[in-house]
Amino acid sequence: MNKKYGMIIIVSAPSGAGKTSICDAIIKDDKNIVYSVSTTTRVPRAGEKNGREYFFVDEKTFKRDIKSGKFIEWAKVHDNYYGTSKKILRGALSKGRDVLLDIDVQGALNIKKQYKNALMLFIMTPTLKELKNRLIKRNKDSVKTIKTRIENARKEIKYVHKYDYLIINDKLKESISNVKAVVKAERLSIKRNKIIF
């Protein structure tokens, strides 16, 4: 009998598109999906806990981990490093668990090169104007940071055609239902049930 490996689910989105809310709902409602906690050099935000949102490390440690080959992918985004642990990802997949990765476009494309069967989802607001409004409304970023995030969103959108699905997050509940439906359908796909290490 062939061993059943889990599926890699990659979710990317510009800041403010609702990716975190969607990912949290998917993880909460589906016990077979585990969240891949990334490693980062950025400073923890208020309420964030090491090992829950991210593994927080200094730049020296991160660069040492790059050299030792600990990351399946890594990237520098907004002046901070982010990486996905090989050990965590492969461990979960080998146990038959689906692994959800909340990563940027650069990281997503790197994962896809190594795992051809990874499921890639891109989350976006109906318009860039709506994205800007959400960033202003959440009141977490400076005007300068919001401007940078919008510019980054313009760049990221150019890679949508590389993804399997585009989910327009107009209404959060509908978007969560759409992502759940996609995951359910893809689990039944023979293509997705074959993981190549």
What is the model's pTM? Answer: 0.87
Read off the amino acid at residue 135.
Answer: L
CATH code for the domain in which residue 155 is found:
3.40.50.300
* Domain of residue 187, residue span: 8-37+96-193
- Residue 50 maps to a domain: no
Report the number of distinct structural domains present in the chain: 1
Read off the amino acid at residue 93.
Answer: L
Please list, in sequence order, all residues whose beta carbon lies within 8 angstroms of the beta carbon of residue 96, skipping any fewer than 6 positions away.
Answer: 3, 4, 5, 6, 32
- Residue 19 maps to a domain: yes
- Residue 45 maps to a domain: no
Average pLDDT for the chain: 91
Answer whether residue 79 shows pLDDT above 90: no
The pLDDT tens digits of the residues spanning 9-37 come to: 999 999 899 999 999 999 999 999 999 99
The pLDDT tens digits of the residues spanning 162-186 come to: 999 999 999 999 999 999 999 999 9
- Residue 74 maps to a domain: no
Answer whether residue 8 shows pLDDT above 90: yes
pLDDT at 142: 86
Nearest to 97, CA basis, from 184, 174, 35: 35
Answer whether residue 45 shows pLDDT above 90: no
3-state secondary structure of 100: strand
Decide if 94 contacts 158 (C-beta within 8 A).
no
- Residue 43 maps to a domain: no
- Residue 158 maps to a domain: yes
